[in-house]
Chain A
Amino acid sequence: MARVLVYAETRDGELRPVASEAVTAGADLAEQLGGSVDVFLLGPPGMAQRAPDLGRYGADRIFVAEDPAFSSYAADAAVRFCEDLVGRDAYAAVVFPASAQGKDLAPRAAARLDRGLATEVVSVGVDDGRPVATRPMFAGKAIATVAFSELPALISVRPNVFRPRERPAGGSIEVVEIASEPAAQRVTGIETGDREALDVSEANIVVSGGRGMVSGGRGMKDPENWSVLEDLVEALGDDATLGASRAVVDAGWRPHSEQVGQTGKVVSPSLYFAVGISGAIQHLAGMRTAKTIVAINRDAEAPIFSVADYGIVGDLFEVVPALAAEIRRVRAGG
């Protein structure tokens, strides 16, 4: 018994970063339960060749369904697949990523299996031989520990919280027939904008700009303002991306997809820069679980400083370019 089943997310035949995170969360749980981890995933023909990698993170058996339709998210087939596997073995838990896909799939699976679901989980554990999980509620103003009255417990784990941990296991592949039909809904396309930016919820470093970027005495109309942040992101490297407060999204300066906060995205990067952001409670809701927070603000009394690990009081238009230059200097081997 005590097996844990994990959904590994793919897009366009590639495993997504959250896949190894979900396997890591599943392996954390399996370790405490004294069991092993099974993984299931869907993808286009050839997907099975790319799946063994998950064995490194603790996947014992990997079940793969292949069909050309599985290049994009196939909700109906994924639910059937999950139901099939849960019918075959006694699982203590089924773990999903709390990504866009996982947030759609996990509740469908929960309803199909008639089991409870805890979403956006940030830690897993075992109490009395059964899985328990902790999850933020009220936009992070409270943390709940939840228990499950019937197994398997369904859990979706917040991206960027369970850092992939190497824990080699069997990683055997079994290709399973899952029909792509019937499907009540179909994904007919993906729009990624002009450049496929790293999503703010998945980046390791987030540089967010607030109203200070546009009202810092430089005149609202100067779009050049944003380039100082873009330059900092570039200096920080490939795993950094831009975020924004609602004030700048509402003003039409940045797209809503970059908004961090209660009505935007929840992010847990290793490093979060809040630049010209006051630190309103709804913004904090989206970033307070970042590992390290740096605030740059000219107002020493700004609430953001009370959650920041490091702060610089000053004009962002001076501090940010200096910061980008210093990071480049030390990265160049200084």
Chain B
Amino acid sequence: MKSIVCIKRVPDSEARIRIAGDGAGIDPAGVKYVMNPYDEIALERAIRLKEEAGDGLVTVLSVGPEESKEILRTALAMGADEAVLLTSPESADGLVIARALAEEIAGREYDLILFGKQAIDDDNMQVPAMVAELLGLPCASVVVELQIEGRHVVAHREIEGGHEIVEFDLPAVVGAQKGLNEPRYPSLKGIMAAKKKPLEVKDIGFAEAKVRIVSLQEPPPRAGGEIVGEGQEAVPELVRRLRDRALI
């Protein structure tokens, strides 16, 4: 089984986000960057597939700045076999990233392409299904359970109020959701081994982005809270206010 896992470098979920001077991006100063948490889940799935089968290949792929090498090293330390970083000076939207990934993937052998369901910086939730469409592959996004028997896949996709069961054949695209597994931490041995694994950097040109951020702003602050009172004595007053606003 050959798996390709697409991983992205993103600000840590705890990071304070400040808008940059140009008003269209964020100020990276002081921001800690990590592997997108859903991508860790995708990677864990690929590594387990290889471990269960006793052989296979796990390739990690990222589009991003030079600094993304760090998360690729982490992926190699977790158990991936090889890493590729695609860099470009231009800015991108979801479709541009999907095209860059699809082009790289098209030149490789693969059975399964794994993604996180969402990158926690742009919150786009679009790259996995776009790559599937560009490569003409079946796709299940937001997957919480994945069974693979031979070439047949049964995936449980999270939907409102339950799960949808989707079936298809490999090769295919899967977007990982929390609940699929608990990603491992790299071991010391893994970290040592990662130093000898291949990490290739390729400069690529991007297609032109079709979605452009015109401005980025801080969210409007929520009007300051009001403590209605303490304990159960405050309940009638709270209910009165909710009723005044026709909320209950």
Is A101 interfacial (CB 8 A cutoff)? yes
Chain A residue nearest to B139 (CB atoms) is A185
The segment out of B65-73, B74-82, B83-91, B235-243 that lies at the interface is B235-243
The segment out of B42-50, B51-59, B124-132 that lies at the interface is B124-132
Is B225 within 8 A of A116, CB to CB? no
Given A185-B138, A327-B239, CB of A311 within 8 Å of CB of B217 = no
Of A107, A136, A149, chain B has the most CB atoms within 10 Å of the CB of A107
Is A312 within 8 A of B165, CB to CB? no
Chain A nearest CB: distance from B34 CB in Å? 13
Chain A residue nearest to B136 (CB atoms) is A184
Q: Give CA–CA (A90, B223) in the complex, Å.
A: 42
Is A165 interfacial (CB 8 A cutoff)? no
Q: Name the interface residues of A285-308: CB closer than 8 Å to any CB of B.
A: 285, 288, 292-295, 300, 305-308
Of the candidates B11, B212, B248, the one whose C-beta lies within 8 Å of that of A147 is B212
Q: What are the residues of chain A within 8 A of B225 when measuring CB–CB?
A: 293, 295, 305-311
Q: What are the residues of chain B within 8 A of A99 when measuring CB–CB?
A: 160
Is B125 within 8 A of A192, CB to CB? no
Chain A residue nearest to B218 (CB atoms) is A142
Is A292 within 8 A of B212, CB to CB? no
- Interface residues in B, total, Cβ within 8 A: 87
25 contacts between A and B (CB under 8 A): A108-B132, A110-B94, A111-B95, A116-B94, A116-B211, A119-B126, A137-B123, A139-B120, A141-B219, A142-B26, A142-B219, A143-B216, A144-B213, A144-B217, A145-B215, A146-B211, A148-B211, A184-B136, A184-B168, A185-B172, A257-B158, A307-B225, A309-B223, A312-B231, A315-B231
Is A262 within 8 A of B13, CB to CB? yes
Q: Name the interface residues of A73-91: CB closer than 8 Å to any CB of B.
A: 73, 75, 79
Q: Give CA–CA (A116, B208) in the complex, Å.
A: 10
Given A184-B138, A309-B223, A311-B227, CB of A119 within 8 Å of CB of B165 = no
Known: A141-B218, A145-B214, A184-B136. 20 other contacts (CB 8 A): A104-B142, A111-B131, A111-B133, A136-B123, A138-B17, A142-B219, A145-B216, A146-B212, A186-B168, A187-B164, A191-B162, A191-B163, A201-B160, A262-B13, A288-B219, A292-B242, A312-B228, A312-B235, A319-B234, A323-B235
Is B247 within 8 A of A330, CB to CB? no
Chain B nearest CB: distance from A251 CB in Å? 14
Q: What are the residues of chain B within 8 A of A147 when measuring CB–CB?
A: 211-212, 214
Chain A nearest CB: distance from B109 CB in Å? 19
Is A132 interfacial (CB 8 A cutoff)? yes
Interface of A is mostly: mixed
Is B210 within 8 A of A101, CB to CB? no
**Size bracket, chain A contacts:** 35 or more
Q: What are the residues of chain A within 8 A of B14 when measuring CB–CB?
A: 281-282
Is A72 within 8 A of B164, CB to CB? yes
Q: What per-residue 1/0 map shows which CB atoms of B152-174 lie under 8 Å from chain A?
A: 00101111111111111000100
Is B231 within 8 A of A108, CB to CB? no
Chain B nearest CB: distance from A327 CB in Å? 6
Is B178 within 8 A of A263, CB to CB? yes
Q: Nearest 7 A-B pairs (CB), nearest first?
A: A116-B210, A116-B211, A199-B160, A111-B133, A192-B162, A107-B126, A184-B138
Interface of B is mostly: mixed
Given A100-B158, A196-B162, CB of A319 within 8 Å of CB of B95 = no
Is A189 within 8 A of B165, CB to CB? yes
Q: Name the interface residues of A45-73: CB closer than 8 Å to any CB of B.
A: 72-73
Is B137 within 8 A of A310, CB to CB? no
Is A326 interfacial (CB 8 A cutoff)? yes
Is B222 interfacial (CB 8 A cutoff)? yes
Is A116 within 8 A of B232, CB to CB? no
Given A100-B160, A140-B219, CB of A326 within 8 Å of CB of B235 = yes
Of the candidates A112, A198, A285, A294, the one whose C-beta lies within 8 Å of that of B133 is A112
Is A322 interfacial (CB 8 A cutoff)? yes
Q: What are the residues of chain B within 8 A of A257 when measuring CB–CB?
A: 158, 161-162
Is B238 within 8 A of A294, CB to CB? yes
Q: Give CA–CA (A225, B133) in the complex, Å.
A: 47
Is B226 within 8 A of A106, CB to CB? no
Is A118 interfacial (CB 8 A cutoff)? yes
Q: Give CA–CA (A120, B120) in the complex, Å.
A: 13
Q: What are the residues of chain B within 8 A of A238 when measuring CB–CB?
A: none
Chain A residue nearest to B175 (CB atoms) is A104
Is B230 interfacial (CB 8 A cutoff)? yes
Q: What are the residues of chain A within 8 A of B214 when measuring CB–CB?
A: 132, 144-147
